Structure 1
Amino acid sequence: MNERPVHWLLMIVPALALAGLPLTSGAAVKALLKEGVDASAVADWLPLLTAGSVGTTLLVLRALWLMRESQQQNASLPTAPAGQIIPWALLCLMPVTLPWLWPPLREAMLDSLPLYAIWASLWPVLVAAAIAVLVMKMDWTIPPALTRLPSPSLQASLRLKRLLQRPPLPPTKPHVDSDRWRRYERPWNRLWKPGTVALSAWIIGVLLMLGWLG
């Protein structure tokens, strides 16, 4: 993918939808989630959703910045063909189009269109954007002491990668020693064979008698 601005605009749409930008599926889902939390026993935890919006916006801005840096370091990459760009563009626009196509999300999004609701969804995104601009202006970097801290998410992802790359186990097939079972079967067959017919006849006769008496 080359560096035309339209590509970055398409990338920003799903990124900001994750942060709950108004008029996106993220804002509709956030409104439904707030409604459910506000009516539950954990309504006091509602400010955590706002903090989550700020954190999510910072994460997606960081991801976009890293992608931009990676693209500048690999400027010689060929341009993607139109057959790949068109499906990718449609997928990026889904956070904007899906709420209008799916009635439950459309109702939630329309309920979030008043100015107070738009401001409630927008200000965490603006706060995160201001923090990102401030960090870039100050040229702030992560302290070395923090980079040496263990990362549970990294450890979990590496463990999952090792599990997925593990060679498959050989297929297990049940082993039945048929000769051994046949050796046990023959004595029992010889034991029951002489009286099998007579025993069956007696059982049938008793059952018929019981049926006639009943």
Structure 2
Amino acid sequence: MTPLKNYYSTLQVNPTSTAGEIKQAYRRLAKIFHPDSQTQSADHDRIIQINAAYEVLSDPQKRQSYDRQLSSATNSDSDSGKPYVYKPQQKATDADAELTLWINKVYKPINRSINQILKPLKSEVDKLSADPFDDELMEAFQTYIEICRNALHQAQKLFRSYRNPSPFAGVAAHLYYTLNHLDDGLNELETFTLNYDDSSLHTGQEFFRIASRLRREAQEEMKKIS
């Protein structure tokens, strides 16, 4: 059996660290080890490990599940680490209508907004990389960020406007953290436009990559439910 990896050690934090401390540690390590950082510390394998650790520890639900596994691995003679399995109850017709409403009014529109943010990223970064100090190219990149900000704001507002049905709690949680990571990514991209620090650009892209992963997990979970 493969030993459980200690993600806290990977991010160089304590198991009692707050979400803010974990995020700060990730940003610091991402800037040090990202392969595109062009520094002697760049390490492709290390950044993969760092990303994997952050994806779990930055999500409260995943972190809680991981902590149970870690505790169980430490105390292998105990059964207390077994995860609780949620079994949804049969829903009535009015509840089915609520689910359909949430899918059409929240899930689908938010996914469209996420696509509007994620899909152009590579193209926009490639265009800017031709000459980051070119005023027109930088202005175009800043316009892209502004469009993303508007799309993100609409998605966040929509997410808060409707109650998340309990059967879709997992899907909603993934969407919530997807939007949070997009917000963090945009903050890093904006920082890059102010100081031309490549580490901010790389970190922003990493946040977007994690957001893309979380969104895929939401889609996969939605398929299982529907």
TM-score, with normalisation over the residues of structure 1? 0.22
| Greater relative CO, 1 or 2 (CA 8 Å, sep 6+) | 1
Q: Quick check: which has more Rg, 1 or 2? A: 1
